[in-house]
Amino acid sequence: MINLDKLVRKNILSLTPYSSARDEFQGEAEVYLDANENPFNTPYNRYPDPLQLELKETISQLKNVPIKNIFLGNGSDEPIDLVMRVFCEPGIDNIVAIEPTYGMYRVAAQINNIEYIPVTLSENFDLLPDKLLKACNANTKLIFLCSPNNPTANYLGEDAIRQVIENFQGIVVLDEAYIDFSAHRGFLPELTKYPNLIILQTFSKAWGMAALRLGMAFAQTSIIELMNKVKYPYNINMLTQQKVMEALANHQQKEQWVNIILQNRQWLINELSAIELIETIYPSDANFVLVKIQQASWVYQYLVEQKIIVRNRSNVKLCNNCLRITVGTAEENAKLIAALKKLSIPSIASV
């Protein structure tokens, strides 16, 4: 068992959170004169539920996780920032994370003046738990893992992840943004086993709602209460809550999209493997593929000129000459492959 009182910043433990009008009264009434709202333009004149209870009830049923263990944020970036503000004393504590991985962990740490310690994955992008744990010290409050990882697309491995969770005395944040595209179930079914685990998931990827900015964090009740204590009162607007509720009512649509993307991913991998310029296609448990290609920066610019945008990851550690390719529609994928087939090694070598 972990002692949260020793991990949480002292000012957060003693913080009296802001109490909004919607916190003090919950229920239905005929006349609302408590929140200084404009009485016109119903329903948009009213502040949204600060705890998103109706939406959480639906998510609870979908994920088989109690409401008390769910936090909803403005994208996953909000809970990423919040856990740093809850647990890490600026200028004193540090965060350990894998490298390469999602860049926002480092940016959020820098914004919060928290030391960020990257630990390089193996050459095959595998997690090295002993190496990661060895990088931790007495001031390490958080470890960030992303699985399936971004930009490498691979699942980090359950045994390796479990070794980190079970042997670290701080909080492990496991980002599962791409778990819907993986053959692995992820760690949500094991949430109750690990009091130091925070799992992040999102509506941006498999659900196709990136524009709505809704991320989910799952953790033990005491951690969720701390995050609710620090968050801004009305962090999820009414329109986002409504649109996500509508999407959750049609869960089959999301499953259909995932199946199509998985089929398209396999087609894309098969086609890329026949292109001579491609040196390596890394295994993918996500809705994207990382490929090592000759003259990646030149190929990237060529694709831009063809009005096809991929992500050049050559500046990322271990990813030299790598492009990250999101799986698109069948038509979009076909355009990419057709453009790549027009290239030849001599034409690139002569540049």
Quick: pLDDT tens for 7-40. 999 999 999 999 888 788 878 888 998 999 999 9
pLDDT, position 235: 96
State the Rg of the chain over Cα. 22
CA 217-223-224 angle, 5° bins: 50
Please spell the DSSP secondary structure of 118-134, one letter per residue: EEEPPTT----HHHHHH
Q: Which two tokens stand for residue 171?
A: 């909080």
pLDDT tens, 37-47?
Answer: 999 999 999 99
Domain boundary assignment for the chain: 4-249, 252-349
| Confidence band for 76, pLDDT divided at 50, 70 and 90 | very high
| Confidence band for 250, pLDDT divided at 50, 70 and 90 | very high
| Confidence band for 176, pLDDT divided at 50, 70 and 90 | very high
CATH homologous superfamily of domain 252-349? Aspartate Aminotransferase, domain 1 (3.90.1150.10)
Cis amide leading into 233 (omega within 30):
no
Alpha helices in the chain (DSSP H): 4-7, 10-13, 21-24, 53-63, 77-87, 104-111, 129-134, 158-167, 221-230, 238-248, 251-273, 296-305, 330-341, 345-349
| Confidence band for 350, pLDDT divided at 50, 70 and 90 | low
What average pLDDT score do residues 83-100 get? 98
CA 262-263-265 angle, 5° bins: 60
The class that CATH gives domain 4-249 is alpha beta
* Alpha carbon separation from 33 to 39, 144, 234 (Å, rounded): 9, 44, 18
The whole-angstrom separation of Cα 146 and Cα 98 is 8
| Confidence band for 233, pLDDT divided at 50, 70 and 90 | very high
Rounded to 10 deg, the angle between the 251-273 and 238-248 helix axes is 80
pLDDT, position 120: 98
| Confidence band for 2, pLDDT divided at 50, 70 and 90 | confident
pLDDT, position 129: 98
Q: Which amino acid is at 213?
A: R
pLDDT tens, 105-158?
Answer: 999 999 999 999 999 999 999 999 999 999 999 999 999 999 999 999 999 999
Rounded to 10 deg, the angle between the 77-87 and 221-230 helix axes is 100
The whole-angstrom separation of Cα 82 and Cα 80 is 6
The strand pairing partners of 72, in sequence order, are 216
